[in-house]
């Protein structure tokens, strides 16, 4: 799943859970 890959990538790069949460919210919305 590309979404999971993107989230994992952002997690690896930013190391901030808030970024993951915001990204997930935007994707879902």
Domain ranges of the chain: 1-29
CA dihedral 4, 7, 15, 26 (to 10 degrees): -150
Q: What's the CA angle centered on 13, arms 8 and 15, to 5 degrees? A: 80
| pLDDT(4) > 70 | yes
How many angstroms separate the Cα of 9 from the Cα of each of 1, 4, 19? 12, 8, 11
Categorize the per-residue pLDDT at 9 as very low, low, confident or very high, splitting at 50, 70 and 90.
confident
Asked whether 19 and 2 are in contact (CB, 8 A), the reply is: no
| pLDDT(11) > 80 | no
């Amino acid at each position: 799943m590309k979404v999971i890959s993107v989230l994992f990538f952002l997690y690896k790069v930013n190391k901030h859970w808030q970024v993951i949460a915001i990204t997930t919210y935007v994707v879902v919305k």
